[in-house]
Structure 1
Amino acid sequence: MIGRCSILAVGGAHIDRRGVVSGPYRPGASNPGAMREEVGGGAFNALRNACRVGAQGAMLSVRGGDAAGQMVEHAIIAAGISDISATFLDRSTPSYTAILEETGELVCGFADMALYEQAFDKQLRRHPFRDAISGTDGILTDANLPQPALERLAGSIRALPLFAIGVSPAKIQRLEPILKSLSMLFMNRNEACALSGLGAGAPDETLGRALSEKGLARAVITAGSGGLLLLDAGRLAKLTPPEVRNVRDVTGAGDALAGVTLARMLQGLDFHQAVRHGIAAASLTIESETVVADFDEAELLKRLADVPEVIGA
């Protein structure tokens, strides 16, 4: 029987805009397509997925006093998540814009997140954050926080497990000073190579060794439709995700993997089995047009039957 858990997320909760190109993408040219807008953010997306499998959540982020900020606030409340975020009336809410090929693959992303850089560190010294720590089983963060805030966070949570999402190759190096404090880091291969200092073609074993030498104990490394690498105390294992035939949008798949995996671990599953549940959630997300798929426990367990066991466990 899988138990319940409580998660405090400290990180991105902002506006996600996704433009999907109609037909083949043409670099350096005007491309016809359609733009969608919804609330997202690595930590918030992952927390919403965790709540879909029985977790209780609280969200600490920062936003502006604009219409976009109201959208973020309403989305947090609608998800049944306790909102302890701060609103800055004279600032604009952070946003992320992704341009996708017709197949759902990412062409490029654009992040407008100056408020995160300026406001997060102060929020970790306020009583809503300190009060929230006492009632949670684990902390989730992402590299949207500037490095001083990440270091303050790692130093403030005592023995609570701390999970992190890499977000992007440009930001993941902010996590390097706290790698030894992380219970698990979720990242794609490009982010892992940026963190390790290795080139994109580095062999899996070399990549795993470099990350372990930096003090990272456990990680999940994705590679799009390719296999996952699971790093656990210096040992590497692999998991090949099931084929997804009805790809709608890859945005949010990594956050689904992170949210469900960490929830299952806090609920008592071992690392490898928790990742299998996360992969099932990610595959459901890829088939959805929304950044957080509308699945329930029964649908997740049905998809889990398609996820193979970890190789090298």
Structure 2
Amino acid sequence: MMKSPTILAVGGAYIERRGQVLGAFVPAASNPGTMREEVGGAVFNALRCAVRRGVSGSLLSVRGGDVLADTVARAIAAAGIADLSVVFLDRTTPSKTTIFDSNGALIVGLADMALYDLALAKQIRRAKVREAISTADAVLCDANLPSTALERLVTLAAGKPVFALAASPDKAARLTPVLGSLALAFLDRREAIALADLGIDAAEQDFADGLRRAGLKGGVVTADDGPVLGFNEAGAFSILPPKKVADGAADALAGATVAALLRGLTLRAALRDGVAAAMLAIESAGLVPVLTAADFADALALVPEPQKIGMT
């Protein structure tokens, strides 16, 4: 029996709270609404999806010594992921709270993630983490790590593919020092614009060219209800998903794409897997879809073939 590919993921695993206003939003007032809370984080969401696609995973993150930390730990264990995370008893577990209006448009977001900047870089020096990197087939990270931690991580992972998620437009710049060392980066259009200094009306080929000029050899750019762009040394292409790819669905796309790449698929074929996982994530009640074999096959059958773009 063939051994499953192994991934070490490094980055955010935190509490995500998503609130939605019922009715018209009234600023500076108490608004009736609903609030949902679960464990998320770009790299954790992507790793869970990769594990559900047959990869073995371990996770290095940091959390506080509060009740929320127990919730995060239980979610990691429930996902079948080895937990290499460190607990800081005198700190608060990172969290992200977002509030949407009744139509799903973002009103405000609040990210309490100072612990990542404070502690993650030091954790990568641990012997246990260096050993995990040496035994993994690939490394998956997100830009919740400061640039110094990302640089140390890609140095230790030399010779292994490193996949990165930009996490947010304001954090995307943290990837700049390591772009040339990444096998693939996953970004949305806002993150790509920030990283490649592009205009908001840039065309697909402009995104590929701009990210290449920034140093990236391969990338995937999602665009809410637009095409998903992929590019590497073999050229640039796009896939138009049957459904919108946004929020946690983009994390699922990344995880399934990485899992497929580690099974030996080309980026063109692997990204079709990613789009199928994203479609299922949109329909899922949680941040990560279940991905049964039958459901995945049905979703994949709906994903169109990639279309070549530009002079590549």
1:275 aligns with 2:271: yes
User: What is aligned with 1:37?
Assistant: 37
- The DSSP-based 3-state class of the residue aligned with 2:63 is strand
Q: Distance in 2 between matches of 1:201 and 1:29?
A: 36
8 Å CA contact 2:25, 2:31 repeated in 1: yes
- The DSSP-based 3-state class of the residue aligned with 2:307 is coil
User: What is aligned with 2:8?
Assistant: 8
Q: How many residues align?
A: 309
Q: Distance in 1 between matches of 2:175 and 2:38?
A: 27
Equivalent residue letter for 2:217: A
How far residue 97 of structure 1 moved from its aligned partner, in angstroms, is 1.2
Alpha-carbon distance change, 100 to 122 in structure 1, aligned in 2, over 3 angstroms: same
8 Å CA contact 2:64, 2:92 repeated in 1: yes
How far residue 135 of structure 1 moved from its aligned partner, in angstroms, is 1.9
1:230-252 Cα deviation digits (max 9, x unpaired): 122383211100136xx9xx531
User: What is aligned with 1:235?
Assistant: 235
The normalised TM-score by structure 1 is 0.93
- The DSSP-based 3-state class of the residue aligned with 2:201 is coil
8 Å CA contact 1:53, 1:296 repeated in 2: no
Equivalent residue letter for 1:253: A
User: What is aligned with 1:53?
Assistant: 53
8 Å CA contact 1:2, 1:268 repeated in 2: no
Equivalent residue letter for 1:242: P
User: What is aligned with 1:183?
Assistant: 183
Q: Distance in 2 between matches of 1:100 and 1:3?
A: 43
Alpha-carbon distance change, 3 to 252 in structure 1, aligned in 2, over 3 angstroms: farther
User: What is aligned with 1:260?
Assistant: 256
1:93 aligns with 2:93: yes
Equivalent residue letter for 1:278: G
Q: CA RMSD in A?
A: 2.0
Equivalent residue letter for 1:293: P
Aligned residues with identical type, % of pairs: 49
Equivalent residue letter for 2:159: A
1:88-139 Cα deviation digits (max 9, x unpaired): 0000000111223445454443211000000011101001211111221110
Alignment of 1:283-294 (within 5 A): 283-294=279-290
Alpha-carbon distance change, 194 to 29 in structure 1, aligned in 2, over 3 angstroms: farther
Q: Distance in 2 between matches of 1:158 and 1:151?
A: 11
Q: Distance in 1 between matches of 2:260 and 2:25?
A: 38
8 Å CA contact 2:230, 2:267 repeated in 1: no
The answer for unaligned runs of 5 or more in structure 1 is none
Q: Distance in 2 between matches of 1:57 and 1:104?
A: 33
- The DSSP-based 3-state class of the residue aligned with 1:305 is helix
Equivalent residue letter for 2:168: S
The normalised TM-score by structure 2 is 0.94
Deviates further, 259-268 or 130-139? 130-139
8 Å CA contact 1:91, 1:115 repeated in 2: yes
8 Å CA contact 1:16, 1:37 repeated in 2: yes
Equivalent residue letter for 2:96: Y
Q: Distance in 2 between matches of 1:74 and 1:135?
A: 25
Equivalent residue letter for 1:162: V
8 Å CA contact 1:208, 1:234 repeated in 2: no
1:18-76 Cα deviation digits (max 9, x unpaired): 11222355666654210011111111110000011111100000000101111111111
Equivalent residue letter for 1:263: A
Alignment of 1:17-166 (within 5 A): 17-25=17-25, 30-166=30-166
The answer for unaligned runs of 5 or more in structure 2 is none
Q: Distance in 1 between matches of 2:272 and 2:25?
A: 33
- The DSSP-based 3-state class of the residue aligned with 2:20 is strand
Alignment of 1:147-226 (within 5 A): 147-226=147-226
Q: Distance in 1 between matches of 2:103 and 2:284?
A: 13
Q: Distance in 2 between matches of 1:25 and 1:235?
A: 45
Q: Distance in 2 between matches of 1:27 and 1:311?
A: 44
Q: Distance in 2 between matches of 1:309 and 1:108?
A: 37
Structure 1 runs of 4+ aligned residues shifted over 6 Å read none
1:312 aligns with 2:308: yes
